[in-house]
């Protein structure tokens, strides 16, 4: 770089604090001599680095805090000065100084540009109209969410990775969604024509309309200046209230251009293999850089590798340079599994394709094989199970020892047996960790678990797609070394959850302390305590707030309500089948009005009341219980809802009474504690209006009975349910569901949804069918008895709580001042209701009727 006086630390300025910027800081502070640098980070966004790859998780209940990447205390520990919301506007390479938007001028000895990219918005008329958005930051998603509330139809311009993510988000928010893609297929970079066609068909089956070979030519607006339509390049016009541009990104290289650093012909700051620009004092990493192979990489894995290379360059430590990266991807888009790896398009001379396609089952697999028999790349759509093995094989570049057709045919991969990977095969492309490095971590570094290997090598800490293969390799190595791989629940119990369930069931143990004393060790933790609490509850061992049980509960069960982001709680009374009387509606409305609560109809046909403080919960529930309502268990790992359409009673297409069955099932399984939440639905005909095939157990009426589907779920990783049995009569249907649920509760792992459990279950659906319908294990009578005990012992948790003074005492924000509102729980008005105040807003503490906690037939309420 340059000579320095020994009496002052060298100044390092990092421009940008995204995923790649944070990885650079972590890698650099691990280098010898890093303490001799004074680090300043200048960022444009108002928050520290967060996981942009999983940005769409914000629409599935995650918060910005959940996506945060900068560990607590990391900046202070290393003396890093992070300045948010003050980006660099100019670079003076002569004086080695940068100027920020606020006018601050900082000197540097080394400058690292990690400015990322900007969304590409086609230069079409109206692109800046009210209702037009990009999909890049948390603030972008907040704006889209706000607009979606008043939008009926949305159009996403761009059918690549991010475009389909945006489409999934719009659809999840109830917006009718179109995708417009200029290329002739979706995900044109990652998949071929066959994979793209299947992907399109599966996405359209989910209700998203796809328009390929068309671009945007203009945004039409109404008199109010808001979007009303999107004009397409083929002359068509799509009505729209919302437009999201997700047509790719461009390197953010303006700072380099302004200070005369070379950029590529299509953008990107030109760097060498050590991530140095033409100025040796300036480095560039991530999406803003063009690497020595002439590419700009828009994926996080290459960005991380560049960050690590730049860290070594600055520290002067040995290590390979960055000459290119693996661009393999594996993800789920709108519920469809998609993966590509290596050279998916077979560009190498003489390359041959091995194809398997089943449009009926929605599976497409293609492998590209080189003239020497090596696996060069591939495309997987609909089933990406083999990705963890195929990608490292392609990266190894060596001839296959297993026939290629066995790797694509149904059951062929399993028939081929374990596929040996060479030690130089890259297992984790995010951090460029080879299988050999993982094996060495076990043998040479003494790592005795997957967690230890992750900490030692960083494998599996990026996108996470290698976790399954990583686990397999680690367990194989441990087993080869004679080390037993633990399957215990946590450090306090060597048993699995299923084994603990059997212990409690057989021994009759009723407390956590007795269980841990006899079969575990220590005091317990936040993994085993709520797990054991759930097991005890599922076996009917008393009220969850009684005695020792109360101390085991997590934040929601602790107060029998859902904790919200601002410290308030939501109240969800059970409404079986979505059927509710006018009187019931009036009661809920009056309660919401009197307590100033935010009300919302949920996707599970219930009414959610938000904004209650701990002190208000008993008063609210007293009125609900008096009106005949009971707990909806929205706070627990238990049955949530049994959704239904109106069925044959009202609908001209219905063939069975779906509402009646839904109510019967919900009342039968209410309060059933399980390893994870349970959702169900009953549709009155094959039109499937209740969406039964996306539930843990779903029922669809036929002209001669009921079809039962199991193992489905929505959420972040949706799964279509499997048909367990068809045309069942009502009695057989209920008995089969009874046994299915109790078998799941008995054998599933902690926090394991039925979908994951079913895929893990040895023998899969056939085995499940044999157990619950043919009694192949001889446990049907036990399962029937367990369900009968649950039904007989059921009690409404809130009704029982209101009758017990000891339970009521916990419902106070301040023990020494019962009824005092929590000043940290504040709200602001919005659309005629309330919402939690944001950190930058001055909210109000709501006052409402204050409950006097008196147990008995009534709960007195005093109005201040």
Beta strands in 102-189 (DSSP E): 105-107, 110-113, 117-119, 132-134, 153-157, 176-181
Please indicate, yes or no, whether residues 787 and 657 belong to a single structural domain of this protein: yes
How distant, in Å, are the alpha carbons of 131, 145, 147, 159, 714 from that of 178?
Answer: 15, 17, 16, 10, 21
Q: Do 663 and 529 fall within a single domain?
A: no
831: exposed, middle or buried (C-beta count within 10 Å: 0-12, 13-18, 19+)?
Answer: exposed
Q: Do 611 and 716 belong together in one domain?
A: no
Least confident segment among 89-98, 541-550, 575-584: 541-550
Do 541 and 568 fall into the same domain?
no
Q: Specify the number of domains making up the chain.
A: 6
**pLDDT tens by residue, 111-139:** 999 999 999 999 999 999 999 999 999 99
**Domain match, 676 and 774 both:** yes
- Look at residue 338 and tell me if it is in a domain: no
- CB–CB of 251/268 below 8 Å? yes
Tell me the C-alpha distance between 514 and 266, whole Å: 68
Give residue 516's pLDDT.
Answer: 86
The CATH number that applies at residue 742 is: 3.30.413.10
pLDDT of 418 = 46
| Domain identity same for 174 and 29 | no
Model confidence over 412-455: pLDDT tens digits?
A: 544 444 456 677 777 787 777 888 888 888 888 888 877 788 88
Same domain as 619, residue 473: no
Whether 131 and 179 map to the same domain: the answer is yes
What average pLDDT does this structure show over 365-381? 91
Which neighbouring-strand residues pair with 598? 610
**353 occurs within a structural domain:** no
Supply the DSSP string of 531-582, one letter for each residue: HHHHHHHHTT-S-TTSTHHHHH--HHHHHTSEE-TTS-EEE-B--GGG---H
624-627: long-range contacts, CB 8 A cutoff, minimum separation 24: 624/571, 624/573, 624/587, 624/588, 624/591, 624/798, 625/796, 625/798, 625/799, 625/802, 627/583, 627/584, 627/587
Q: What is the pLDDT of residues 682-705, one digit of tens each?
A: 999 999 999 999 999 999 999 999
Same domain as 107, residue 54: yes
* Residues spanned by the domain of 154: 121-247
pLDDT in tens, 200-244: 988 887 778 999 999 999 999 999 999 999 999 999 999 999 999
Q: How confident is the model at residue 863 (pLDDT cuts 50, 70, 90)?
A: very low
CA distance linking residue 270 with residue 264, whole number of Å: 6
- Do 642 and 769 lie in a common domain? yes
Record the tokens describing residue 46, joined without a space: 């108002």
Collapsing DSSP to helix, strand or coil, 514 comes out as helix
* Residue 491 lies inside a defined structural domain of this protein: no
In a domain, 444, yes or no: yes
For the stretch 137-153, pLDDT in tens is 999 999 998 898 888 89
Give a yes or no: residue 822 inside a domain: yes
Look at the pTM and tell me if it is higher than 0.75.
no
CATH number at residue 285: 3.50.50.60
Q: Which residues contact 360 (CB under 8 A, 6 or more apart)?
A: none
Q: What are the structure tokens assigned to 822, written together?
A: 């929590």
Higher per-residue confidence, 134 vs 859: 134
* pLDDT (0 to 100) of residue 823: 67
Same domain (yes/no): 573, 624: yes
Tell me the pLDDT of the chain averaged across its residues. Answer: 86
| Nearest to 91, CA basis, from 251, 252, 254, 250 | 254
Band (pLDDT 50/70/90 cuts) for residue 7 is: low
Instruction: List all residues 6 or more positions away from 83 whose beta carbon is below 8 Å from its beta carbon.
Output: 40, 41, 42, 43, 100, 104
Tell me the HSE value of 628 on the side-chain side, using a 13 A CA sphere.
10
Q: pLDDT value at position 2?
A: 45
What is the arrangement of strands in the sheet containing 216-221, beginning at the earlier edge strand? 216-221, 227-232, 237-239
- pLDDT over 50 at 817, yes or no: no
Same domain, 295 and 194: no
Place of tokens 């709960």: 859
Compute the distance between CA of residue 792 and CA of residue 542 in angstroms, rounded to an integer.
13
Residue holding tokens 């719009």?
A: 170
558-573 average pLDDT score: 81
Q: Report residue 411 as tokens.
A: 């059951």
Choose the final residue of a domain: 315, 343, 362. Answer: 315
Indicate whether 80 belongs to any domain.
Answer: yes
Q: Could you give the percent of the chain with pLDDT greater than 90?
A: 48
Contact (Cβ atoms closer than 8 angstroms) between residue 381 and residue 407: no
């Amino acid at each position: 770089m340059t000579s320095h006086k020994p009496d002052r630390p060298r100044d390092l300025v990092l421009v940008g604090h995204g995923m790649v910027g944070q990885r650079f800081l972590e890698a650099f502070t691990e280098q010898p001599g890093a303490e001799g640098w004074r680090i300043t980070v200048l960022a444009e966004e108002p928050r520290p680095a967060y996981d942009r790859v999983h940005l769409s998780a914000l629409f599935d209940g995650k918060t910005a805090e959940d996506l945060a990447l900068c560990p607590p205390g990391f900046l202070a520990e290393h003396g890093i000065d992070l300045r948010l919301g003050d980006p660099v506007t100019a670079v003076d390479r002569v004086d080695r100084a940068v100027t920020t938007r606020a006018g601050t001028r900082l000197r540097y000895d080394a400058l690292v540009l990690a400015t990322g990219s900007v969304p590409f918005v086609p230069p079409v008329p109206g692109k800046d109209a009210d209702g037009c958005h990009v999909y890049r930051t948390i603030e972008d998603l907040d704006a889209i969410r706000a607009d979606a509330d008043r939008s009926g139809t949305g159009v996403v311009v761009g059918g690549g990775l991010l475009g389909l993510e945006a489409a999934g988000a719009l659809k999840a928010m109830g917006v009718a969604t179109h995708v417009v893609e200029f290329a002739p297929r979706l995900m044109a970079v990652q998949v071929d024509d066959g994979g793209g066609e299947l992907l399109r068909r599966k996405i359209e089956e989910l209700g998203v309309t796809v328009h390929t070979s068309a671009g945007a030519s203009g945004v039409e607006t109404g008199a109010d200046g808001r979007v009303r339509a999107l004009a397409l390049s083929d002359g068509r016009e799509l009505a729209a209230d919302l437009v999201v541009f997700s047509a790719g990104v461009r390197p953010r290289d303006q700072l380099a251009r302004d200070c005369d650093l070379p950029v590529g012909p299509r953008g990107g700051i030109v760097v060498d293999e050590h991530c140095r620009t033409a100025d040796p004092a300036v480095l560039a990493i991530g999406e803003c850089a063009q690497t020595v192979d002439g590419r700009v990489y828009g994926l996080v894995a290459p960005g991380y590798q560049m960050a690590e290379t730049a860290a070594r360059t600055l520290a002067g430590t040995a290590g390979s340079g960055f000459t290119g990266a693996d661009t393999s991807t594996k993800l789920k888009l709108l519920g469809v599994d998609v993966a590509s790896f290596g050279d998916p398009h077979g560009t190498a001379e003489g390359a041959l394709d091995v194809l398997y396609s089943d449009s009926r089952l929605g599976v497409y697999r293609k492998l590209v094989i080189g003239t020497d028999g090596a696996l060069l790349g591939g495309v997987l759509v609909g089933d990406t199970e083999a990705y963890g093995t195929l990608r490292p094989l392609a990266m190894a570049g060596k001839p296959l020892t297993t026939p290629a057709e066995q790797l694509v045919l149904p059951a062929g991969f399993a028939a081929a047996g374990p596929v040996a990977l060479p030690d130089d095969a890259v297992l984790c492309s995010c951090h460029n960790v080879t299988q050999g490095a993982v094996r060495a971590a076990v043998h040479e570094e003494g790592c005795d678990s997957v967690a230890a290997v992750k900490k030692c090598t960083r494998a599996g800490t990026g996108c996470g797609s290698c976790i399954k293969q990583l686990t397999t390799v680690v367990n194989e190595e441990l087993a080869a070394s004679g080390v037993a791989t633990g399957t215990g629940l946590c450090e306090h119990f060597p048993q699995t959850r299923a084994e603990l369930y059997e212990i409690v069931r057989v021994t009759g143990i009723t407390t956590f302390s007795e269980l841990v004393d006899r079969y575990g060790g220590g005091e317990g933790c936040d993994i085993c305590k709520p797990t054991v609490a759930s097991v005890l509850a599922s076996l009917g061992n008393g009220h969850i707030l009684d005695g020792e049980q109360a101390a085991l509960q997590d934040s929601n069960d602790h107060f029998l309500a859902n904790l919200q982001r601002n410290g308030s709680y939501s109240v969800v009374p059970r409404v079986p089948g979505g059927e509710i009387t006018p009187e019931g509606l009036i009661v809920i409305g009056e309660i919401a009005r009197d307590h100033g609560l935010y009300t919302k109809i949920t996707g599970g046909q219930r009414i959610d009341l938000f904004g209650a403080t701990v002190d208000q919960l008993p008063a609210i529930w007293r009125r609900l219980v008096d009106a005949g309502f009971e707990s909806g268990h929205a706070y627990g790992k238990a049955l949530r809802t049994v959704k239904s359409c109106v069925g044959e009673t009202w609908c001209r297409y219905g063939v069975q009474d779906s509402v009646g069955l839904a109510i019967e099932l919900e009342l039968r399984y209410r309060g059933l504690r399980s390893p994870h939440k349970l959702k169900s639905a009953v549709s009155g005909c094959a039109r499937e209006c209740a969406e039964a095939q996306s539930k843990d157990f779903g029922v669809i009426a036929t002209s001669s009975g009921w079809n039962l589907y199991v193992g489905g779920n929505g959420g972040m990783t949706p799964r279509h349910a499997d048909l367990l049995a068809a045309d069942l009569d009502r009695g057989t249907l209920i008995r089969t569901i009874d046994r299915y649920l109790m078998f799941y509760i008995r054998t599933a792992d902690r926090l394991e949804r039925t979908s994951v459990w079913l895929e893990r279950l040895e023998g899969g659906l056939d085995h499940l069918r044999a157990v619950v319908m043919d009694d192949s294990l001889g446990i049907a009578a036990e399962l029937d008895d367990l369900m009968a005990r649950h039904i007989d012992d059921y009690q409404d948790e809130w009704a029982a709580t209101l009758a017990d003074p000891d339970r009521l005492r916990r419902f106070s924000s301040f023990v020494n001042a019962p009824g005092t509102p929590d000043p940290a729980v504040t709200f602001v008005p919005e659309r005629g209701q309330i919402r939690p105040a944001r950190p930058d807003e001055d909210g109000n503490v709501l006052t409402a009727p204050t409950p006097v906690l008196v147990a008995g037939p009534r709960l007195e309420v005093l109005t201040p």
